[in-house]
Structure 1
Amino acid sequence: MRVTPFNRRAVLVTVSAVLALGVGAGSAVALPRQERVPGAGGGAVSRVAEHPRAEALRAALVGLPDGEATSAVVRAGGRDGRWEGSAGVREMGSQDPAVADGRFRAGSVTKVVTAALVLRLAADGKVNLDRPVQSYLPGLLTPEFKPVSVRQLLNHTSGIQPGDGFGDSWEEQYAHRFDTLNPEDVVAAGVAKGPEFCPGTRQHYLNVNYTILAMLVEKVTGRTYEEGAARYVLGPAGMRRTSFPGTDPRLHGPHNRGYQLVDGKLVDVTEWNVSDRWAAGDMISTVDDLERLMTSLFRGRIVPRPQLEEMFTVPAGVAGATKSAGLERFEIDGVEVWGKTGARPGYNTAIVATRDLSRTVVYSVTGTDAHAQGLRIGQRFGFPAFLQD
């Protein structure tokens, strides 16, 4: 795998630049005044218009930092009330409470933005979801591949295999945390392996699908993926503090530091070059902005209703399929919910809601083993918002 400078996307792209051009911010989420109450583990918990699951949500934060996480910021909402809380510490070894409005790595929640962008372009007639990606990006796939539609990239039924990274072990990945992998090279490595299965017959969740979608966006718009995301998604949602860092490994502005538990010791992994994840997972955001994304999207303010159905439709006839265009279908205590989780070293993130937004949750957790503990983090900090009384 070739390591390249990849400076083309090293400049931060934020919604502020787009709003300066006159693109409207849409409807922002209006937050009621917060009441601050004592918290646990050196942090603080805030409460807003008691949510029916407030006690369970509050209990999840007790004791932070602990073996699973050093900090957590959770916001639950819906028609029956709101609750938000934060606990833990901003940095291990200090007594500074966790930053409730800080920036963090959103990981694969980036895919929600990418899917929304592609669907918006489809609504505008610039992308045909049934058209093969080979016709948009000739030469990208080898002749071994049967036609792969844009829709199959969106719902992970393309059959394209993952590219190679810096190794599978923690030690290898950590050693290369400041190095750069060109996303196009990652795609080429996956394509070189040949198809994993016939398109549309299985579902295999992979970043490579969304990297190709970003390449397609740039081809049909003549602009960078980041510009398209800002103009068509971040701007309409009012996501003013969301950005794409490119090769910059730092988190700028207030943030909680992330850690990985290695041999019983916490290793600081806050600085990390995630440019190889690009449109599949390199976004930096805030709880406020992700809540705006979720509510604006589900209400049809970003993607028109006909195309929005793609985000709530899993591929038919594919055994075990749970993923749609950018989202995933879950069932929690008998309640069907839709959302997306994300994990990068040191950071777990999720946006989850019922389709009618009667129950919602957004969280940012600095998990001590973000990838391995993803499900456990969700069960602890997200699931309580949807449990039945």
Structure 2
Amino acid sequence: MTNSANSASRKARWITLVAAGAAVASLAAGALPVSAAERTPAPVTEALRPHRGSVHTAAPAELMAPGAVASGTMVRAGSGSGIRWTGATGPLSQDPEANFRIGSITKLFTSTVVLQLIGEGRFTLDTPVQELLPGTLPAHWQPITVGGLLSHTSGLQLPCVPFERGERPAPEQVIAHWTAPTCAAPQYPVLTQQYNGANYFLLGMVIEKTTGRTYAEEVRLRIARPLGLRHTYSPRPGDGSLPAPALADPSEIDPWAWAEGGMVSNAPDLDRFLTSLLRGRLLRPAQQRQLFTMPALSEGNRDRFSMAGLMRHEVDGTVVWGKTGSMGRSTSGVFATERGARTVVYSLVPATKDGELMRAHIDKLVEAALRDHGTGGSGL
């Protein structure tokens, strides 16, 4: 999503749904509202804390210092042996393990549950969503597959029917707005990968229809409980609260993004989740391969998503995998090298509307977090 689209989201409530917290599908998640961007940067509340004997350089501290790009930052840099360093600065929280709305990082939890159901034989990547959710999409539309939803190659267009500010639509209402007769139908043949939150609202509905349980229950039973993620959950509809300590002001949170962008977690839980996912602890081998299989339609795109909706990004020539998300004032991300040898979770409050500048800043932050600082390692 462009900066202009993010600006428009303050006036048109429905734009938030397009990214529901992942204001863009890139590391430089979009601009934040003017009121937040114009705030005076808060003083540093906590320095970086090295762990397990690692020695951090000045680079991460400089990147985390409140300034013209970000007014506050939380970072957790990990490895297979534990935390290497972590810290929080500015107006986020003094606790780098605080809870926060993870925005579109939620999509990774949704895709994981969907891939588990595929592994159980409930449906396949090629199953049309019209078979799983009869009557949900217009009858004259061509079939849209589960795989198309996961990889953002469904052809679904952006919404055209606005919601009123403060509305809390059910998933069925969201899709009805996306597929109204006045909205553009999917374009066939699909020629490019187009990041779209509607894909994951539909996948959330598929999860509930297939299992007979709520999306929140499936995430808890299949991911949070087995991995011991004590701070990770999908809130009840309309619940905008955050358990303390929190990284954001709950009054600024939109609690309705659901399977597309509504979950709560914290840095340690996200680190454990992504590491477990990349190391094959949550999926069967056939579905594990989908994590790193890139659809042909992703070629040439600046931001690329695998068949499982995992973001592929290059940092200093090294491929990392993960997801970004935004909610309220903050934009966040979780990334790791392919086997989880190096991990980073970040959340920051942008102080600029310049998406390119923010993207470059986050790239530097991720690169610094994924490197060995003073430990004699070889880098990423």
Q: Does the alignment reach a TM-score above 0.5?
A: yes
Query: Deviations along 1:130-155, whole A, 9 cap, x unmatched?
Result: 11111111112213321111000000
Look up the match of 1:78. Answer: 79
Answer whether contact 2:77 2:370 (CA < 8 A) is retained: no
Task: Please report the TM-score for the alignment, with normalisation by the length of structure 2.
Answer: 0.77
Look up the match of 1:14. Answer: none
Instruction: Indicate how the Cα distance of structure 1 residues 220 and 53 shifts in structure 2: closer, same or farther if over 3 A, else same.
Output: same
Query: Deviations along 1:48-80, whole A, 9 cap, x unmatched?
Result: 135587443233123x2x343343221112359
Q: 1:250 aligns with which of 231, 241, 250?
A: 241
Residue 310, structure 1, aligned to residue 294, structure 2: no
Q: How much has 1:47 moved relative to structure 2?
A: 0.5
Deviates more, 1:293-302 or 1:44-53: 44-53
Instruction: Give the residue type in structure 2 aligned to 1:333.
Output: D
**CA distance in structure 1 between the partners assigned to 2:162 and 2:358 by the alignment:** 22
Q: 2:206 aligns with which of 216, 220, 228?
A: 216
Q: 2:106 aligns with which of 102, 107, 110?
A: 110
Answer whether contact 1:161 1:194 (CA < 8 A) is retained: yes
Task: Please report the TM-score for the alignment, with normalisation by the length of structure 1.
Answer: 0.76
Look up the match of 1:272. Answer: 253
Instruction: Give the residue type in structure 2 aligned to 1:84.
Output: W
Query: Does the residue aligned with 1:243 lie in a helix, a strand or coil?
Result: coil
Look up the match of 1:362. Answer: 345
Q: For 1:1-389, list aligned pairs within 5 A.
A: 41-49=44-52, 54-62=57-65, 64=66, 66-78=67-79, 82-90=83-91, 98-164=94-160, 176=165, 178-192=166-180, 193-198=183-188, 200-245=190-235, 246-258=237-249, 270-275=251-256, 277-321=257-301, 322-324=304-306, 325-368=308-351, 372=355, 375-376=359-360, 378-386=362-370
**CA distance in structure 2 between the partners assigned to 1:254 and 1:370 by the alignment:** 28
Query: Deviations along 1:178-209, whole A, 9 cap, x unmatched?
Result: 44233322211212224332265321001000
Query: Does the residue aligned with 1:257 lie in a helix, a strand or coil?
Result: coil
Q: How much has 1:379 moved relative to structure 2?
A: 2.1
Answer whether contact 2:69 2:352 (CA < 8 A) is retained: yes
Q: How much has 1:253 moved relative to structure 2?
A: 1.6
Q: How much has 1:304 moved relative to structure 2?
A: 1.6
Q: How much has 1:240 moved relative to structure 2?
A: 0.9
**CA distance in structure 1 between the partners assigned to 2:348 and 2:194 by the alignment:** 26
**CA distance in structure 2 between the partners assigned to 1:371 and 1:274 by the alignment:** 26
**CA distance in structure 2 between the partners assigned to 1:218 and 1:58 by the alignment:** 44
Instruction: Give the residue type in structure 2 aligned to 1:348.
Output: T
Query: Does the residue aligned with 2:305 lie in a helix, a strand or coil?
Result: coil
Instruction: Give the residue type in structure 1 aligned to 2:334.
Output: I
Instruction: Indicate how the Cα distance of structure 1 residues 109 and 379 shifts in structure 2: closer, same or farther if over 3 A, else same.
Output: same
**CA distance in structure 2 between the partners assigned to 1:344 and 1:305 by the alignment:** 33
Query: Does the residue aligned with 1:244 lie in a helix, a strand or coil?
Result: coil
Answer whether contact 1:73 1:84 (CA < 8 A) is retained: no
Q: How much has 1:256 moved relative to structure 2?
A: 2.7
Q: Using CA pairs under 8 Å that are at least 6 residues apart, name the structure with larger relative contact order, 1 or 2.
A: 2
Query: Deviations along 1:95-143, whole A, 9 cap, x unmatched?
Result: xx62221111101100000000000111111121111111111112213
Instruction: Indicate how the Cα distance of structure 1 residues 122 and 200 shifts in structure 2: closer, same or farther if over 3 A, else same.
Output: farther
Deviates more, 1:232-241 or 1:284-293: 232-241
Deviates more, 1:147-156 or 1:353-362: 353-362
Answer whether contact 1:331 1:337 (CA < 8 A) is retained: yes
5+ residue gaps in structure 1?
A: 4-39, 92-96, 259-268
Instruction: Indicate how the Cα distance of structure 1 residues 166 and 190 shifts in structure 2: closer, same or farther if over 3 A, else same.
Output: closer
Q: C-alpha root-mean-square deviation of aligned residues, in Å?
A: 2.7
Paired-residue identity, %: 34
Q: How much has 1:376 moved relative to structure 2?
A: 4.4
Answer whether contact 1:180 1:273 (CA < 8 A) is retained: no
**CA distance in structure 1 between the partners assigned to 2:82 and 2:344 by the alignment:** 12
Answer whether contact 1:152 1:199 (CA < 8 A) is retained: no
